[in-house]
Chains A and B, each alone.
Chain A
Amino acid sequence: MTTTYVDAIRQGISEEMERDPNVFLLGEDIGVYGGAFKVTQGLLERFGERRVVDTPISESAIVGAAIGASFMGLRPVAEIQFADFISCGFDQIVNFAAKCRYRWNAPAPIVVRAPCGGGIHGGPFHSQQNEAWFAHTPGLKVVLPATARDAKGLIKSAIRDNDPVIFFEHKALYRRIKEEVPEDDYSVPIGKANIFREGKHITVVTYSAMVHVAAEAAEILDKDGISVEIVDLRTLTPLDEETILASVRKTSKALVLHEANLTGGFGGEITARITEKAFEDLDGPVLRLAAPDVPVPFSTPLEEAYLPNTQKLLEKLRWLAAY
């Protein structure tokens, strides 16, 4: 059945709720309202107030309570209304959840879902792509699906995972992409990248909404005889280094693309790994395309200038192809 990204996530969550009575949801406006983006629409009616908990505006308490409930054997899935507000629950995520297992062998199997990303005129506080904060914190798993199929398969894996997972859903994808999503009980493993598109000349390593920007550029370059391979990371931590390196060894050229700001973005990490481990195979510098180092501006011309897009990517890829 063709399914949107948002419906796919909802399906994944509700299937897990059916399967495991310990799975429950908590967050702001997720029950009666069905969530700011309607990801949890209908789940209150289906599973009741015990399992779909509308909370006060208290991100720290939402994450903290999820951790505590997980100690009781439950499987909490917390929604942060916008990834921009995840910072209000930051300490609970990076200090409590992330360090439990390592310090005292207590797993904290929570999922924190956070709608992220720009391109929706959200301005500085409804557009951020802040996955790097969490990828920098050992003990967390950071997942960012780019397709409906992966979104469903990965949310299911996230809920089943025995460690804390930060699950970034891209807002611009919720209703924009639609594809065949299996109805059976499949899952997509955390920590495994996907070759989104096969190619011969350049590898683009990317994730989340930027996968679709890369795909658009790849189609255009095809006509010029430049064949682009797209590695969709899907998970930043744990990182599937093997798939990245295998692709780069094949193509000998690499560009890393993400929507988050350039400096300290996860692209730097990928670039470093490629140059450390596949230097001999490279036929050119590893390039990066990311947002510039400013907050996400509101006004349309500024936001357009801010976001990486197909045009900017084509320029870089053409330069790299000619290198």
Chain B
Amino acid sequence: MAAVKLELIRPSSGTERATVADQAGAETDPLADLARQSLYYMAMMREVEDRIERKLYRQGKVVGGVYVGRGQEAIPVGSGLAVRPDDMLFPSHRDMALFLIRGVSARQIFAQYMGRVDGLTNGRDGNMHMGDLSKRLVAIISAMAASIPVAAGAAMGMKYQGKDTVTVVYFGDGATSRGDWHEGINLASVQKAPLVLICNNNQYAYSTPLSKQMACANVADRAPGYGIPSEVVDGNDVLAIHEASRRAIAHARAGHGPFLIECKTFRMTGHSAHDPADYVPKHLFAEWSAQCPIARLEKKIIERGWASVEEVASIRARVVRESDEAVEAAEKSPYPDASTLLDNLYEK
């Protein structure tokens, strides 16, 4: 097996995505690099979210709503590693890894959750309600599915300007019940806009199970109604999601219009940190924990010889170390000064 330099896998700065400099070159399975990067980003997302939800929130250092993507990490990672840096992303509230992949630091993310000035919204908003246009990341608003028409517009803008970029928008199963979801997809479809729609079907929307959300079997079944192709994919298989994303992105980039991917997964947590999720049958958590996307990928990495046990352990150690440092740095970030309350409502 080729020697890999794990230390080189890191969240990138700027819009460039760092890749592993694989010294071994041709003799390496091309999937090895992707698998190791995926493992890093998924493990990092898990670690950062665990600290926010299980430590900082309980310590009262994070206040307000905390929504995590535990068990769903493969979705932002698999797709986020399939886009180009100049493609536009609209993350949902459970897609933290997209920020990491685009070079937003864990320190900035912790600071955002703690309402500090170094968060992406400088304390104006919390949790994943953040964005950075220079990194082509658009901030969600809370209202589910409101991003879909906006993403349709971004995609139309790309087409208008003759660019070969695409827009990728993320949402949950519940969001597909909003009129905005349908209006946005329909508009993008008739305009043949380069829009990729990625649904994390985690089977619950707050306490509402799928059966109360929609009467069709799959979110993907809705696509034909808008004349667009769709695909159902194992939402806990990061490499499968990567593959499906590449196909969908190629379709959109080639000018064939929107493509919908439905990732079947499970929300391994309550709706938010305050919710014990008593309404979820316990056996579902047990069944799905056996499908942990991180554990599955680790197993595959070792089986395929993409990295050694020690190398995998060192990725795990690295995310802990980086999170330690990031929390410490974020806690040093000041709170916004009350005197800035009125700033930045309009252009100066």
A interface list, Cβ under 8 A from B: 28-29, 32-33, 36, 54-61, 82, 84-85, 87-88, 120-126, 292-295, 297-302, 304-306
Contact = CB atoms under 8 A, between A and B. Distances in A.
B337 A29 contact: no
Of all A-B residue pairs in the complex, the 9 with the closest CB atoms, nearest first, are A299-B123, A299-B115, A125-B142, A56-B177, A33-B207, A305-B338, A121-B64, A121-B63, A298-B126
Given A57-B144, A292-B341, A88 B178 contact: yes
A123 B208 contact: no
Contacts of A60: 179
A123 to B, nearest CB: 5
A293 B214 CA distance: 39
B338 A298 contact: no
A293 B342 CA distance: 8
Given A56-B214, A122-B64, A299-B124, A304 B338 contact: yes
Contacts, number: 119
Contacts of B143: 84-85, 87-88, 125
B179 A58 contact: yes
Contacts of B177: 56-58
A87 B143 CA distance: 9
Contacts of A301: 123, 335-338
Contact of A299 (B141, B206, B214, B336): B336
B121 interface: yes
A54 B208 CA distance: 8
Contacts of B180: 88
Contact of B212 (A56, A87, A125, A302): A56
A87 B341 CA distance: 25
Given A28-B206, A56-B212, A300-B63, A294 B174 contact: no
A294 B179 contact: no
A158 B121 CA distance: 40
Q: Which of A120, A126, A299, A306 has the most CB of B within 10 A?
A: A299
Interface residues of B, number: 38
A260 B345 CA distance: 17
Nearest to B205: A57
Nearest to B278: A33
B285 interface: no
Q: Interface majority SS on B: helix, strand, loop or mixed? A: loop
B123 A297 contact: yes
24 contacts: A33-B206, A54-B208, A54-B212, A55-B212, A56-B213, A57-B178, A58-B178, A61-B179, A88-B143, A88-B180, A121-B126, A123-B129, A124-B124, A124-B125, A124-B129, A292-B341, A293-B342, A297-B125, A297-B336, A298-B123, A301-B338, A302-B336, A302-B338, A305-B338
Contact of B126 (A58, A123, A304): A123
Q: Interface majority SS on A: helix, strand, loop or mixed? A: loop
Contacts of A294: 341-342, 345
B58 to A, nearest CB: 15
A54 B336 CA distance: 40
Nearest to B206: A29
A122 B141 CA distance: 13
B141 to A, nearest CB: 6
A84 B142 contact: yes
Nearest to B175: A57
B247 to A, nearest CB: 29
Contacts of B121: 298
Interface in B166-186: 174-175, 177-180
B65 interface: yes
Contacts of A126: 64-65, 142
Nearest to B124: A297
A298 B124 contact: yes
B340 interface: yes
Contacts of B124: 123-124, 295, 297-299, 302
Contacts of A58: 177-179
A293 B345 contact: yes
Nearest to A297: B124
A28 B341 contact: no
Contacts of A28: 205-206, 208
